[in-house]
Amino acid sequence: MQASIRYILLALGSLIGLHFILSISHEEYGKATSLSTIASKFGSTYPHNVPEEYYDNGSYENSNSTNRRKANAAFVILARNGDLQGVLESIKQNEDRFNKRYGYPYVFLNEEPFSADFIKYTTEVVSTKTEYGLIPHDHWYQPKWIDEDRAKASRKKMEDKQVIYGGSVPYRNMCRFNSGFFFRHDLLKKYDYYWRIEPNVKFYCDLHYDPFLFMQDNKKVYGFTISLPEYGETIETLWETVKGFIKAHPEYIPEDNALKFLSDDGGQTYNRCHFWSNFEIGDLNFWRSEAYMKFFEHLDQAGGFYYERWGDAPVHSIGAALFAKKDQIHFFNEVGYKHEPFMHCPTGDVHARGKCWCDQNHNFDYEWYSCLKKFEAA
């Protein structure tokens, strides 16, 4: 009996090994046998789809947004003048796929004044109002109270380890700004919801409903398309700092939170899963809440944005998972999206309905490095 079991295990091991070798040596075999491809054969596998009543089911060419019910929302784009071409590509796709029918405004933010060309060409390519804001100095640059010698030593250590953006101060400025300041900008104070757009991204699918209204009507606070683990070298003390805040302020943590997305052992350790914040649709008032504001101040005073390289993606993700109820976080399956190198491409009926032009074989959702399975489990 034991010998039979050994033979079975040996055979299974041989098959798995052969599958692995074929997957990495033959691209077409790898595509055909990926989890994403198998899932697509059986139609939509997601329980996250937006209910039918939110779809307009009208002609995509009907661009009249005058009579539509709308949320108090805007697109937010953090960019420099040198990003102009990448910004134009992103917003042109967004206009074609969604906004030329729905008519939401754009807010552009920069740590330096926008050039005349940037304003001219971005205004020309969109169908609605555009606003251009300068980021306040104290919201962007490294605070004076940071120990620069310690921060410099940390950057050198990360550079030696070849950590992406490990030696960059501007990247750290951006992460800190997006974590704790963008929602305080004067141009955004009048809005309740935002959709973050980055330069050089792809939007693959026609979107026939308003995600802002869906968020508003269903009391959602955060929406995403891609989730994955953060680089461990960039957040070595982040979770211990978070646990310190939780211990000091248990009153901010609702019982029905999404801690299970972040931790596999009840909060003792962080599994590094986060929502990729280069795409996010969110409730600005959630970031402005007492819980999140105190949370950010706690992180900021710890100095990890500069002594390590804490990103806004894990900070937003931890904040949303801890301070919101788990059903207030939404996976936007219908939004086909790519930020190099990862892509969410809807599968099955959702792909067809959105007239998506992305390759379902390259959908990241259920690849081994994705955290979507943990979100669903949570």
Other beta carbons within 10 angstroms of residue 209's beta carbon come to 18
Q: Which of 338, 60, 30, 298 has its CA nearest to residue 197?
A: 338
List residues bridging with 339 in a β-sheet. Answer: 342
Concerning whether 280 is annotated as a catalytic residue, the answer is: yes
Give the 3-state secondary structure of 4-54: HHHHHHHHHHHHHHHHHHHHHHCHHHHHHCCHHHHHHHCCCCCCCCCCHHH
Q: How many angstroms separate the CA atoms of 20 and 117, rounded? A: 51
Q: Which of 294, 310, 183 has its CA nearest to residue 248?
A: 294
Q: Which of 74, 132, 92 has its CA nearest to residue 108?
A: 132
Q: How many angstroms separate the CA atoms of 72 and 31, rounded? A: 42
Other beta carbons within 10 angstroms of residue 89's beta carbon come to 16
Q: Exactly one of 280, 290, 308, 376 is catalytic; name it.
A: 280
Q: How many angstroms separate the CA atoms of 111 and 185, rounded? A: 12
Q: Which helix (H) or strand (E) holds 287?
A: helix 284-287
Helix (H, G, I), strand (E, B) or coil at 343: strand
Helix (H, G, I), strand (E, B) or coil at 179: helix
Q: Quote the tokens at residue 23.
A: 């997957």
Which conformational region is residue 328 in: left (phi greater than 0), alpha (psi within -120 to 50 degrees), or beta? alpha
Q: Residue 55: what are its φ and ψ, rounded to 5°?
A: -80, 140
Q: Which of 81, 88, 78, 74 has its CA nearest to residue 113?
A: 81
Active site residues: 280
